[in-house]
Amino acid sequence: MKIGSVGTLFVCLMTFGFPVTVQAQDLGPGFTKVKDGIYVFAPDATTTTCSFVVTQEGVVMIDSCNSPLASRNMLTTIKKVTDKPIVFLIDTETHSDHTANHFIFSPPATIINHEGAAEAMKKEFNPKRAETLAAQSPEMRAALQGYKMITPQIEYKNKTTINLGERTFELIYLKNVHSEADTAIWLPKERVLFAASAANVRRFLNLRPSVVIPDVLASYKLMKSLNPEFVVPGHGPVSTTKIFDEYEGFYTLLLKRVGEMAAQGKSLAEIKKELKMPEYADWHDQNRLGVNIEAAYKSVKK
């Protein structure tokens, strides 16, 4: 029997200690196994996504999860899959929902992000964060044990490559797409791309003043050119390059509409009041349309 022999093979591999045959459903809600040894934790459509990749020489994490509870759960989950240490933790951005729980993983993990990440994290640091969170529940208080801000020990410039065990991780700086230091992580052999928050999944992004929409569009072009099979966004579940196409469509239409209204002599305030994007009414976080219009206005006025 074919199925039987596959089953036997599976058991043999396990017996000889071959790596990573744990299925995502065994790891609990929110976990997806993208490929052998590549696991993503995306609790829902909008909360911060965090991931880990197992190699023969240790684990590489991508982002440190939204809440200390999720991070503790992540650590437990990693230990279920492998006894190897977490060697690297790569940040896809600087914001605290991706970076505040480094203390749970580092040491031993060495944290990496693009140049400027540590400075931005120090600037954004909220000294009341731990206190406020701890007040939520005794579990949260326990999860915060040992809390402190840990900034990246390694900052690279523009592009770098990490070779760990059998895997290659290409770190690519994405300029002006979301935070002060955004990193996409590309696994060329596995064709899995961790895309930071240049795009999420059907959600209006909170575009800070440093975001430049043409640079965001350029980042989609760049990431699509890698030809990934799977795309893991900074928030939301595992997807494909279709999220880049969707956002490309959204920003292109937004720029067109804002451009036309600006050309009619309308002020930013008027545009923000009048402009609607009904084609995207089912996207999450509709209240962020205003900051999207502001970013588009800045681009068309250049």
Chain residues that interact with Zn ion, rule: CB under 5 A: 93, 95
Query: What's the closest the beta carbon of residue 178 comes to Zn ion, in angstroms?
Result: 6
Cα–Cα–Cα angle for 174, 180, 186, rounded to 5 degrees: 30
Supply 162's token pair.
């990490």
CA gap 91, 174 in Å, rounded: 12
Q: What minimum distance in Å lies between the beta carbon of 132 and Zn ion?
A: 18
CB of 118 to Zn ion, least distance (A): 16
Q: Tell me whether residue 55 or residue 94 sits nearer to Zn ion (CB atom).
A: 94
Instruction: State which residue, 22 or 117, has the beta carbon closest to Zn ion.
Output: 117
By beta-carbon proximity to Zn ion, the closer residue of 40 and 177 is 177
Residue 212 or 268: the one with the smaller Cβ distance to Zn ion is: 212
Q: Is 58 helix (H, G, I), strand (E, B) or coil?
A: strand
User: Residue 92 or 106: which CB sits closer to Zn ion?
Assistant: 92
Count of other CB atoms within 10 angstroms of residue 202 = 18
User: Locate tokens 């731990």: which residue?
Assistant: 130
Q: How far is the CB of 210 from Zn ion (least distance, A)?
A: 12
CA distance 151 to 121: 7
Q: How far is CA 142 from the centre of its chain?
A: 26
CA 2 to chain CA mean position, Å = 39
Least distance between Zn ion and beta carbon 34 (Å)? 22
